[in-house]
Structure 1
Amino acid sequence: MRAITGFVGVLAIMLLAACEQPDEQAILEATPPQDIFAQAEGELNEGRNFNAGELFGEVERLYPYSEWARRAIIMSSFAYYQAAEFERSQAAARRFLEFYPNDEDAPYAQYLIALAYYDQITDVGRDQQATLNALQALREVIERFPGSAYARDSELKFDLAMDHLAGKEMEIGRYYLKRGQYMAAINRFQTVIDDFQTTTHVEEALHRMVEAYLALGLDEEAGKAAALLGYNSPGSDWYENTYTLMQTQGTSNGTEDRSFFRSIWSQVIRGRWL
């Protein structure tokens, strides 16, 4: 009997304590939007980015269509991005663009979508879907908001992402080249030359094409690739390597000098082989 009485007493104390504890959700719902917003900013300043994103989301939930909600949506996207919660960040940014497509922060919202993809780009040995998504989102920033600071930074990141994709093509091409699958390698290197002309990989792509053509006994095709490399990058290390390779394995067989390449350049430029 004493045990039962004691249990009832403890239970009563617990219930009383629970009643005395404030309902945090009720308090939040009674808090003005500017105060919740300030709390969220405080969390952000302390590096608690996810908590900040949640609080900014509460402003939007409790005070929809208000000016505070407009500000909170874009800030929640930023906070989630800082927390590496990329899907949440993009969802908030897309919501902002849906509700406020002509707002002054619309370029930033689109930029955050692109950044979330960009930060997920992995090394060239893995799937590059994030790179493709980043390129598409970055291009949208560039085309929809030309002249903005976000467009300028997007152009830089776009070039870097393109370089990353070209690196993936080069990795595959080198893989085929090492295994004697020369035509498959040539196709990959040609893709780099055709589709990624502004990247840092073009010089190596041309050199590797020379290697592959020489391995196939296609000296004339090797000469064309060497000519293009020599015309565009005459002082590069890749050209020097190509020149040495052509001297030792190509049509010159070590007996001709650089005039061999100059003659090829002139023929390519005049279009005789085009």
Structure 2
Amino acid sequence: MRVVITTVLLSVFLVSGCSSRSNEEVVERSGIDVMYETAQTYLDVGRFADAAQTLQAINTRFPFGPYSTQVQLDLIYANYKVGDQDRALAAIDRFLQLNPNHADLDYVRFMRGLVYQQAESSFLQDSFGIDRSDRSNYYAKRAFEEFRELVRLFPESQYAADAHERMVGLSSRLAKHELAVAEYYLRREAYLAAANRAKGVVESHPGVPEQERALEIMVESYRSLGLEQQASDARTVLRSNFR
């Protein structure tokens, strides 16, 4: 009889334990469902800071939960919309590390380009038209490189056309920066450095309006260096395209 009672009690304990774990899983799943739905609502209504905070909480509490991949993607977008480039880039790096072969890699690369482009822009330049072409072009260059890689790796992507358009604008931004440096060297009578910077604009940024001034700098610099053939070649290109 004692054996039977012991067996029955053990069975009840095991069933109770399984039921308890099952209930915990249900509660946990219910919790993540509610949090995820809340985050989606925040995204839908444009409350991106609240969305980012909720998504980060999900990511912390349920790093390998049923929504983990989508949460990471949404977190990238939410941080971008908030303007928190550091967290957006960290989320992008984490996603690429955990999902190197994911179907949405084109989207992630596009977002990284957008984040760098956002970092490159400034309130003064956007709002008051202040030209900052003489400042660092680090973020513009990184954005350009990301969009270029997207177009190269995913030419059929739905984001490729947008990326290409952004490359055109960034190319002009980068050309202005190089041209500002070339002008600086020209004023300092560092003619070889000026010519090389201007040549870089011509070779690396085809089609931008800044090419005309770049060719003028090349002509002036080569003449000052006594390099008449190079000056003549640059003048020929200048006249063929802009005169």
- 1:82 alignment partner in structure 2: 81
More helix by share: 2
Distance in 2 of aligned mates of 1:212 and 1:108: 44
Shift of 1:152: 2.4
Pick aligned residue for 1:134 from 111, 120, 143:
143
Q: Which of 176, 180, 185 lines up with 2:194 in the alignment?
A: 185
Quote the offset at 1:227 in angstroms: 0.8
Matched-pair contact (CA < 8 Å) for 1:56–1:72: yes
Deviation by residue 1:20-57 (Cα, 9 ceiling, x = unmatched): xxxxxxxx978522211121123234433122112112
1:175-227 Cα offsets, whole Å, 9 max, x none, are 22234333332222122223333433222211222233455666554332211
The equivalent residue for 2:236 is 227
Cα distance, 1:69 vs structure 2: 1.8
Decide whether the 8 Å contact of 1:60 with 1:70 is kept in 2: no
* 1:94 paired to 2:93: yes
Task: Write the deviation string for residues 45-73 of structure 1: whole angstroms up to 9, x where unpaired.
Answer: 44331221121122223333333222111
What percentage of residue pairs aligned between the two structures are identical?
Answer: 28
Does 1:151 find its partner at 2:160? Answer: yes
Inter-CA distance 51–187: structure 2 relative to 1 (3 Å threshold):
same
Runs of 4+ in 1 over 6 A off after TM superposition: none
1:197 to 183, 201, 206: 206
How far apart, CA to CA, are the structure 2 residues paired with 1:104 and 1:41? 21
State the 1:84 CA deviation.
Answer: 0.6
Distance 2:196 2:150 in 1: 32
Is the 1:90–1:112 contact (alpha carbons within 8 Å) kept by the matching residues of 2?
no
Please show how residues 231-246 of structure 1 align to structure 2 within 5 Å: 231=240, 233=241, 236=242, 239=243
Deviation digits for residues 138-180 of structure 1, max 9, x if unmatched? Answer: 2332233221022222222223223222211101111222343
In structure 1, stretches of 5+ residues that fail to align are 1-27, 240-274
Q: CA deviation at 1:100?
A: 3.0
Q: Determine helix, strand or coil for the equivalent of 1:120.
A: helix
- CA separation in 1, counterparts of 2:194 and 2:63? 56
Q: CA deviation at 1:109?
A: 1.6
Counterparts of 2:225 and 2:90 in 1: how far apart (Å)? 52
Q: Secondary structure at the match of 2:159?
A: helix
Correspondence 1:209-228 to 2 at 5 A: 209-214=218-223, 220-228=229-237
CA distance in 2, matches of 1:105, 1:35: 25
Larger Rg: 1
The answer to whether the 8 A contact 2:134-2:181 is kept is no
Does residue 167 of structure 1 match 2:176? yes
Question: In 1, are the aligned partners of 2:109 and 2:146 still within 8 Å (CA)?
Answer: yes
Question: Which structure's relative contact order is higher, taking Cα pairs within 8 Å and 6+ residues apart?
Answer: 2
Letter in 2 for 1:140: E
**Contact 1:96–1:106 (CA<8 Å) still a contact in 2?**
no
Distance, in Å, in 2 between the alignment partners of 1:140 and 1:222 is 35
Distance in 1, Cα, partners of 2:195 & 2:63: 57
Q: How many residues align?
A: 207
Q: 1:101 to 1:215 in 2, by over 3 A?
A: closer
Contact 2:43/2:51 (<8 A) preserved: yes
Which residue of structure 2 aligns with residue 14 of structure 1? none
